[in-house]
Structure 1
Amino acid sequence: MKLSGDLKAFEKRIGHHFAKPELLVRAVTHASMSSANRDDNQRLEFLGDRVLGLVMAEALLALDPGASEGQLAPRFNALVRKETCADVAREIDLGKVLKLGRSEMISGGRRKQALLGDAIEAVIAAVYLDGGFDAAKDLVLRLWGDRLKTVKEDARDAKTALQEWAQARGLNPPRYVQTGRSGPDHAPVFTITARLDNGAEAAATAPSKRAAEQAAASTLLRQLESNT
Structure 2
Amino acid sequence: MTEFEDRIGYGFRDISLLEMALTSPSCRMERPELEDNQRLEFLGDAVFGLLSAAAVFAAYPGEQEGSLTVRRTHLVSTSALIAAAHRIGLGEFLKRNAGAGPLPKNAKMLADAVEAVMGAIWLDGGMGPAKRFFARLELPIEEKLNVWSDNPKGHLQVLSQALKPSRKPVYRVDSVTGPSHAPTVTVTVSVQGLGTATVTECSQRKAETAAATALLEKIHADGHPC
Q: Is the 8 A contact 1:33 1:101 kept in 2?
A: yes
Q: Is the 8 A contact 1:75 1:154 kept in 2?
A: no
Q: Is the 8 A contact 1:28 1:97 kept in 2?
A: yes
Q: Which residue of 2 aligns with 1:31?
A: 25
Deviation at 1:196, TM superposition (A): 4.5
Q: Which residue of 2 aligns with 1:114?
A: 108
Q: Is the 8 A contact 2:153 2:213 kept in 1?
A: no
Q: Does 1:79 find its partner at 2:94? A: no
Paired residue type of 1:23: L
Q: Is the 8 A contact 1:100 1:109 kept in 2?
A: no
| Secondary structure, counterpart of 2:36 in structure 1 | coil
Deviation at 1:152, TM superposition (A): 3.0
Q: From the two aligned structures, give the one with the greater helix fraction.
A: 1
**Residue of 3, 26, 43 corresponding to 1:9:** 3
Give me the whole-angstrom Cα distance separating, in 2, the residues matched to 1:202 and 1:88. 34
Give me the whole-angstrom Cα distance separating, in 2, the residues matched to 1:132 and 1:225. 39
Where does 1:15-54 land on structure 2 (aligned, <5 Å)?
15-34=9-28, 35-54=31-50
Deviation at 1:133, TM superposition (A): 1.4
Q: Which residue of 2 aligns with 1:141?
A: 135
In structure 2, the CA distance between the partners of 1:61 and 1:225, relative to structure 1 (3 Å rule), is closer
Deviation at 1:202, TM superposition (A): 6.5
Give me the whole-angstrom Cα distance separating, in 2, the residues matched to 1:91 and 1:43. 24
Q: Which residue of 1 aligns with 2:144?
A: 152
Give TM-score, length-normalised by structure 1: 0.67
**Residue of 59, 63, 70 corresponding to 1:67:** 63
Q: Does 1:131 find its partner at 2:129? A: no
Paired residue type of 1:47: L
| Secondary structure, counterpart of 1:10 in structure 2 | helix
Q: Which has the larger radius of gyration?
A: 2
Paired residue type of 1:102: A
| Secondary structure, counterpart of 1:102 in structure 2 | coil
Structure 2: state its 5+ residue gaps: 161-167, 174-185, 189-197, 218-226
Q: Deviations over 1:8-49 (max 9, x none)?
A: 111101100000100000000011113343210011111111
CA-based RMSD: 3.4
Paired residue type of 1:114: K
Q: Which residue of 1 aligns with 2:170?
A: 172
Paired residue type of 1:88: A
Deviation at 1:162, TM superposition (A): 5.0
Give me the whole-angstrom Cα distance separating, in 1, the residues matched to 2:89 and 2:55. 25
Give TM-score, length-normalised by structure 2: 0.68
